[in-house]
Chains A and B, each alone.
Chain A
């Protein structure tokens, strides 16, 4: 179970202004401003749940993921993942979670994928029989057979993403964080990834937390959605709840339409109406 209660986090960033004069000024004095990344974020996620975590860029999604995965310590509030405080006892915690960043690779660029997997086996100290089982299952479900012998740099984005997901699951984590896993993928790869995540959640009861900008991901995978904007949780409910919220904000006409593209429009409308962009 994952619980977050009243979590706050702010950053201090340097202001940088354009122009020659401003740049010269910055040589002597630098202004900083405080950005509130998360303010009073609370939610609870049960074991085996699949949750979509959405919001515009800079809303605080990745800060939340970072806190839950133990990379970042919040200023205030409490956070428990299966009874552990993520940023205390880091090694213990991260052994139980898997994280996929859609924009970054965790595989070793110049060696065959299988070599990366072998290295991960040593890093996570995965017992041989468990590794063997997981490899067999992942290879079959994600169709990796052909890819394992290729160096990562030669893979297409879709192929690489399948390998990335497999790499994050080799140590059988109980919780999986997916950060924009379908970004830039073609239709076939997208479907394959979605289908796999669905199955993982159903068969292994893995808790999945998914951040994405692709509303079709949300529609296909998650029953529950947490909407975040400007560091606050604005809605925590089902897809229907979100449609209702949109309707309240005067988007009734489009809400009846049931396909994914109009969902995109609803969300875009919501972002604007809630003024969180």
Chain B
């Protein structure tokens, strides 16, 4: 078991190093993409800034507080896209018949698909998110206790896991149909776009949906309440780690889809 994990880890980093060297073959394009990502995110922030400069606050959240929330979600998403982009673009892997090649190799399909693509240009987004987070810290009066710092890490871990789960879920659907995947996008890109504001501004119904249907409030709204000092319940900060269960469910779907693929052909 230990041996297997070690060898898988080694292979993963080998994939990563090949991806890095490939990206460096197109340096100009790569750096333009990084800058592009950087600016793309800036758009979103400018939009939020304009809204706040007009309205002052939304449901009691200040610009700085929303900035903290926004930057954490963006970081989650960027990390998930960077690591899990093999699943995010899985439809094209299946369409081009590349998944057959994956099945022809004596390794876990998950490992191979993860290794097939790394969106390293997402680093632009990550940098931007870090800047914004730092600015958010400066302008919002959060008292940074140990628990709150840990909450940030747990939000990052849980959020990234949740987004990767969504990508995995989308990839699992790909085995059944190459059309109609757009609906799953509401979970990924929708959550990224609309997750910049804490879920409660969307009203009670949306809160329920984002808690019981998809565990979105667990990585965003609840830990944020603790982070911003709106509640003393420290365990809200642990909620994001529940995303692991969701990942397991999505993994089950993936296994199921793969069996279907092998019996239906492409």
A–B direct touch, CB within 8 Å, in complex?
Answer: yes
**Cβ-based interface call for A11 (8 A):** yes
Residues of chain B within 8 A (CB-CB) of A95 are: 106
Contacts of A11 in B (CB 8 A): 264-265
Q: Return the chain B residue nearest A97 by Cβ.
A: B104
Distance of A164 Cα from B104 Cα, bound (Å): 14
The answer to the question of A248 belonging to the interface, with a C-beta cut-off of 8 Å to chain B, is no
Q: Mark B20-47, 1 if CB is under 8 A from A, else 0.
A: 0110011000000000000000000000
A73 touches B106 (CB 8 A): no
Q: Are B22 and A66 in contact, CB atoms less than 8 angstroms apart?
A: no
Which residue in A69, A70, A110, A123 is a CB contact (below 8 Å) of B107? Answer: A123
Inter-chain contact A151/B262, CB cutoff 8 Å: no
Q: Does the CB pair A111–B11 fall under 8 Å?
A: no
Q: Is the CB of B10 within 8 A of A122?
A: yes
In the complex, number of A-B residue pairs with CB atoms less than 8 Å apart? 70
A124-B103 contact, Cβ under 8 Å, with A110-B22, A119-B15, A119-B18? no
A222→B100 CA distance, assembly (Å): 27
Which residues from chain B contact A252 at a C-beta distance below 8 Å? none
Give chain A's interface secondary structure class: mixed
Q: Which residues of B contact A123 (CB under 8 A)?
A: 11, 105-107, 112
Is B95 among interface residues, defined by CB-CB distance under 8 A? no
CB contact list, B88-114 vs A, under 8 A = 97-98, 100-101, 103-108, 112
Query: Taking CB as reference atom, which chain B residue is nearest A124?
Result: B106
User: Which of B18, B26, B98, B103 makes the CB contact (< 8 A) with A70?
Assistant: B103
Nearest chain A residue, comparing its CB with the CB of B108: A91
Q: Is A259 an interface residue (CB 8 A)?
A: no
Residues of A within 8 A of B26 (CB): 110
**A43, CB-defined interface residue at 8 Å:** no
Interface: B145 (CB within 8 A): no
Q: Which of B22, B103, B105 contacts A108 (CB 8 A)?
A: B22
Considering the complex, give the chain A residue whose CB is closest to the CB of B109: A90
Contacting residue for A109 out of B22, B103, B264, CB 8 A: B22
Interface size bracket, A side: 20 to 34
Question: Is the Cβ of A106 less than 8 Å from the Cβ of B101?
Answer: yes
State which residues 86-114 of A face B: CB under 8 Å. Answer: 87, 90-92, 94-95, 97, 99, 104, 106, 108-111
| A115 interface hit (Cβ, 8 Å) | yes
Query: Chain A residues near B104 (CB, 8 Å)?
Result: 69-71, 94, 97, 99
Let me know if A87 and B262 touch, CB within 8 A.
Answer: yes
Interface residues of B in 199-238 (CB under 8 A from A): none
Can you identify 21 A-B contacts, CB atoms within 8 angstroms?
A: A66-B265, A70-B103, A72-B262, A72-B265, A73-B262, A73-B263, A90-B103, A91-B108, A99-B104, A104-B97, A104-B98, A104-B101, A109-B22, A110-B25, A111-B18, A111-B21, A123-B11, A123-B105, A123-B107, A123-B112, A125-B106
Question: Which B residues contact A (CB, under 8 angstroms)?
Answer: 7, 10-11, 14-15, 18, 21-22, 25-26, 97-98, 100-101, 103-108, 112, 262-265
Q: What 5 additional pairs, Cβ within 8 angstroms, besides A110-B26, A115-B18, A116-B18?
A: A109-B22, A110-B22, A115-B21, A123-B112, A125-B106
